[in-house]
């Protein structure tokens, strides 16, 4: 492949970089990881919404979407550049991430014109926040075994059941909900995909507190919730195909190193500041060696991302690189955060934002949060299965 970016792509990079320099306050840089799944106060949430709206105002939300739906029609290469620049600037995640990454692209592919007109603009502007109702207490990796039921009643579906781990449901206005509409059909063939107003009577959202102390996700209960039939996406009982489209967008999101390169740079800066034996931790060659190893892995991930891009530029479907990147990036992130705990020694015990904590206690927060990405969007064991079967050609277990 050619490692050089075209003049247009470099111009795109320069435009985004200068926009971020002008619009992203210093104090909000480096809070990327914490913003993804944390929430301490209403003002914190408002800051996240304000950042999303600022990005939207600058034309930097939904960049890959067609222009007719409010996107920029950015090329695949520009999407990669976008991920690199957002990571470089330590830009916080968008507040309506599930809406922009999953729901919008799925609706553009599967929605009716009416659904696109009604929902897509408010996804971009974050005027409506979305959540994803897939997982249930007994259906996670095998989500097609879900049991939440929807029964037809005139112009409505009536929904009963429970979802769990529903990120942002406590803020959400809308939900993409997988329901069983034919309990007698084989499990993948009796599922429908609904757009549900989270303010409907009969919905109860109960926040779950994560190990980080944040309330990022929830249990959601549905009791006789009436959903208009016009909110069905795709055909009744054919929702699995729509659900898979959403999952493809979920797994392909995040770019090459998925932000871990920025964390490694911060780790190196931390080592340079930490006193150790009359010098700093950075003066210890074992510490430098470890951080250099992390950096090599991050660069390998970046090039794996480029390899995937090359396939797609040649018109080939996304390969198994997505699973490899998801697996390797999340495992690398976990090791980076664990090593930060070793470097910090007793300081690692300070909680996020505790007085006297180094870097506001950000490292212990990140370490506690680093398990999550190894679980969502297909657990890492499931990624191992995919790589084993599709890359190594091993027999199915
Ligand atoms: C931070 C976070 C946010 C999330 N947000 C959402 C959300 O917004 N909406 C939503 O619907 N869900 C969400 N989830 C849920 C997530 O999708 C599920 O946790 C995930 O699919 C795994 O399902 P499970 O927890 O039921 O585990 P299980 O599927 O029960 O798995 C338990 C263990 O068994 C392993 N395992 C399962 N099957 C196999 C297999 N075939 N081969 C090998 N090992 C296997 C798994 O890897 C895991 O280690 C979120 C999860 C996290 C951590």
Q: Is the pLDDT of residue 293 over 50?
A: yes
E-assigned strands of the chain?
A: 130-133, 149-153, 156-167, 174-180, 191-197, 203-208, 217-228, 232-233, 275-276, 279-280
- What backbone phi and psi angles, to 5 degrees, belong to 52? -60, -45
Q: Which of 218, 379, 380, 383 to mutate to test the pocket of ligand 1 (most atoms within 8 A of CB)?
A: 379
Q: Which of 35, 138, 141, 386 to mutate to test the pocket of ligand 1 (most atoms within 8 A of CB)?
A: 141
**Nearest atom, ligand 1, residue 131 CA:** 8
Structure tokens at 364: 């212990």
Q: Tell me, what's the pLDDT at 119?
A: 97
CB 100 within 8 A of CB 73: no
What is the Å distance from ligand 1's center to 17 Cα? 36
| pLDDT higher than threshold 70 for residue 35 | no
CA of 141 to the centre of ligand 1 (A): 5
Q: Cα-flanking dihedrals φ and ψ of residue 392, to 5°?
A: -90, -10
Q: Give 299: exposed, middle or buried? Use CB within 10 Å, 0-12, 13-18, 19+.
A: middle
pLDDT 10s digits, 104-123 = 999 999 999 999 999 999 99
R_g of the chain, CA atoms, integer Å: 22
Q: Which residues line ligand 1 (CB under 6 A)?
A: 37, 131-135, 140-141, 165-167, 217, 372, 375-376, 379, 381-382, 385
pLDDT category at 200 given cuts 50, 70, 90 is very high
For the cut 70, the answer to whether the pLDDT of residue 260 exceeds it is yes
Please check whether residue 326 is in contact with residue 383, taking contact to mean a CB–CB distance below 8 angstroms. yes
What is the tens place of the pLDDT at every residue in 219-238? 999 999 999 999 999 999 99
Report the distance separating Cα 384 and Cα 215, nearest Å. Answer: 29
Q: Which residues are catalytic?
A: 250
pLDDT at 37 over 60: no
User: 380 falls in which pLDDT band (50, 70, 90)?
Assistant: very high
Task: For residue 309, name the pLDDT band (cuts at 50, 70, 90).
Answer: confident
Share of the chain above pLDDT 70, in %: 95
Query: Which pLDDT score is estimated for 227?
Result: 98
pTM for the predicted model, two decimal places: 0.92
What's the DSSP call for residue 273?
Answer: H
Would you tell me how many other CB atoms lie within 10 Å of the CB of residue 382? 17
d(CA 206, CA 219): 5
pLDDT (mean) for 85-102: 89
Task: Please report, in angstroms and rounded to a whole number, the separation of the first and last CA atoms in the chain.
Answer: 35
pLDDT above 90 covers a percentage of the chain that reads: 68
Lowest mean pLDDT among 98-102, 208-212, 287-291: 208-212
**Alpha carbon distance 329, 316 (integer Å):** 23
* pLDDT tens for each residue of 138-175: 999 999 999 999 999 999 999 999 999 999 999 999 99
Half-sphere exposure at residue 380, Cβ-oriented, CA atoms within 13 angstroms: 15
What pLDDT was estimated at residue 390?
A: 85
């Amino acid at each position: 492949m050619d490692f050089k970016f075209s003049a247009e792509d470099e111009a795109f990079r320069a435009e985004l970089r200068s926009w971020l320099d002008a619009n992203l306050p210093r104090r909000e840089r480096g809070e990327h990881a914490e913003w993804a799944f944390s929430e301490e106060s209403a003002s914190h949430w408002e800051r996240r919404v304000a950042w999303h709206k600022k990005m939207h105002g600058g034309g930097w939300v939904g960049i890959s979407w067609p222009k007719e739906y409010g996107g920029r029609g950015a090329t695949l290469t520009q999407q990669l550049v976008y991920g690199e620049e957002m990571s470089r600037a330590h830009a916080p995640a968008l507040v309506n991430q599930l809406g922009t990454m999953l729901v919008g692209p799925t609706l553009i592919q599967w929605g009716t014109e009416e659904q696109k007109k009604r929902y897509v603009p408010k996804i971009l502007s974050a005027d409506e926040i979305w959540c994803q109702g897939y997982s249930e207490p007994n259906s996670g990796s095998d989500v097609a075994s879900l049991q939440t039921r929807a029964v037809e009643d005139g112009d409505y579906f009536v929904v009963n059941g429970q979802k769990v781990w529903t990120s942002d449901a406590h803020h959400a206005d809308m939900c993409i909900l997988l329901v069983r509409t034919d309990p007698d059909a084989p499990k993948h063939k009796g599922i429908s995909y609904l757009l549900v107003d989270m303010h409907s009577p009969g919905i109860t959202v109960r926040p779950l507190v994560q190990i980080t102390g944040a309330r990022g996700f929830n249990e959601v209960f549905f009791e006789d919730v009436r959903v208009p039939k016009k909110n069905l996406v795709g055909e009744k009982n054919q929702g699995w195909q729509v659900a898979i489209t959403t999952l493809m967008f979920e797994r392909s999101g995040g770019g090459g190193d998925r932000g871990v390169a920025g964390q490694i740079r911060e780790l190196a800066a931390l080592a340079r500041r930490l006193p150790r034996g009359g010098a700093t931790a950075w003066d210890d060659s074992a510490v430098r060696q470890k951080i250099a190893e992390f950096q090599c892995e991050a660069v390998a991930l970046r090039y794996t991302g480029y390899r995937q891009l090359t396939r797609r530029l040649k018109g080939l479907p996304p390969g198994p690189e997505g699973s490899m990147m998801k697996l390797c990036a999340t495992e690398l992130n976990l090791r980076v955060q664990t090593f930060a705990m070793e470097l910090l020694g007793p300081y690692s015990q300070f909680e996020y934002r505790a007085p006297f904590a180094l870097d506001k206690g950000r490292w212990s927060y990140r370490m506690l949060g680093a398990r999550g990405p190894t679980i969502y969007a297909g657990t890492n064991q499931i990624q191992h299965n995919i790589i084993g079967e599709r890359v190594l050609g091993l027999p199915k277990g």
